[in-house]
């Protein structure tokens, strides 16, 4: 049975932590904006093969940078499990009369909201350098893909956090996992420019479909088609929620 009060409490806790940590808000925007500013402006005048006619590089890059920011934020949301284990809070919620699926959903809801705020802020800031959202429906569709990206990678982050005890080790492993996911997703360059064997690997990267779906909704450029992106990402999201809940349930609170 799902306990919605527990989900809400854990979501609210994460929101309070987010609002109180001003440096966290600045930090989560700094790297995406650096990528967007230097790469977007530096390559804006170049003709890049496979990008589609009538699409400039800044428009192509914005969905990729949003995906990058959400990937980093979502994966590192798992570190809160390690902090809670370190300070005893995890033990307290583990013995509470709620099932662990509700605890996982609460954590995913909080982390997804934080990542979604980041994605929307990057999108709004990108409009200052010339990016344009076609209409409200496009914006709403992009929000759906942002939410699915966040849910997928928070679930994956919980899988790693549930099996680890050392925070420094978690950071090292996350960096080792995140960068291949990022570079294989086509965030910075069209997938058609990749060698065939690498392109095949990129097809099993959930972020590939999230970014492609955002591009389809925001600039009308897509490799797979928006419905394919949505279906595949929904599947990845469901699997990661299940795995996150399963490994979290098997983890020890101390």
For 61-99, what is each residue's pLDDT tens digit?
A: 889 999 988 888 888 777 777 776 666 666 666 666 677
- What tokens were used for 8? 């809400």
- What tokens were used for 113? 């909201």
In the chain, % helix, strand, coil (3-state, to 5) comes to 75, 0, 25
What is the extent of the structural domain holding 38? Answer: 4-250
User: Which residue, 86, 88, 102, 104, is CA-closest to 164?
Assistant: 86
What's the confidence (pLDDT) of residue 254? 46
| Cα dihedral 50, 52, 55, 60 in deg (nearest 10) | -50
What's the confidence (pLDDT) of residue 25? 73
What's the confidence (pLDDT) of residue 147? 93
- Give the contacts of 185 (CB within 8 A, at least 6 positions apart): 64, 67, 202, 205, 207, 208, 210, 211
Q: 222 — phi, psi (to 5°)?
A: -150, 145
When divided into structural domains, the chain yields a total of 1
Q: What is the pLDDT of residues 2-15, one digit of tens each?
A: 777 878 888 888 88
Distance in angstroms (rounded) separating the CA atoms of residues 109 and 74:
11
What's the confidence (pLDDT) of residue 107? 83
Instruction: Give pLDDT tens digits along the chain (254 positions).
Output: 677 787 888 888 888 888 777 777 777 777 788 877 777 666 665 566 556 666 777 888 889 999 988 888 888 777 777 776 666 666 666 666 677 777 788 888 888 898 898 889 888 888 887 788 888 999 999 999 999 999 999 888 888 887 777 777 777 788 788 888 998 988 888 887 778 888 888 999 999 999 999 999 998 888 899 999 999 999 999 998 888 888 877 765 54
Task: Burial-class residue 2 by CB neighbours within 10 Å (0-12, 13-18, 19+).
Answer: exposed
């Amino acid at each position: 049975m799902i306990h919605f009060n527990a989900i809400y409490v854990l979501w609210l806790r994460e929101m309070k932590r987010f609002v109180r940590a001003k440096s966290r808000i600045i930090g989560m925007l700094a790297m995406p904006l650096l990528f967007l500013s230097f790469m977007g402006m530096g390559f804006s005048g170049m003709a890049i093969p496979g990008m589609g006619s009538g699409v400039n590089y800044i428009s192509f890059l914005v969905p990729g940078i949003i995906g990058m920011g959400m990937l980093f934020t979502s994966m590192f949301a798992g570190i809160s499990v390690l902090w809670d284990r370190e300070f005893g809070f995890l033990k307290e919620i583990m013995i509470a009369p709620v099932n662990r699926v509700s605890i996982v959903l609460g954590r995913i809801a909080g982390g997804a909201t934080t990542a979604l705020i980041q994605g929307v802020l990057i999108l709004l800031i990108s409009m200052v350098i010339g990016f344009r959202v076609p209409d409200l429906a496009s914006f709403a569709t992009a929000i759906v893909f942002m939410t699915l990206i966040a849910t997928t990678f928070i679930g994956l982050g919980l899988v790693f956090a549930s099996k680890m005890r050392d925070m420094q080790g978690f950071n090292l492993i996350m960096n080792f996992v995140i960068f291949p996911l990022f570079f294989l997703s086509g965030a910075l360059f069209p997938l058609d420019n990749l060698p065939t064997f690498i392109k095949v690997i990129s097809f099993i990267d959930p972020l590939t479909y999230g970014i492609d779906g955002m591009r389809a909704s925001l600039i009308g450029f897509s490799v797979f088609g928006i419905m394919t992106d949505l279906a595949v990402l929904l599947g990845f999201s469901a699997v990661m929620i299940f795995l996150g809940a399963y490994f979290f349930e098997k983890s020890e609170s101390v």
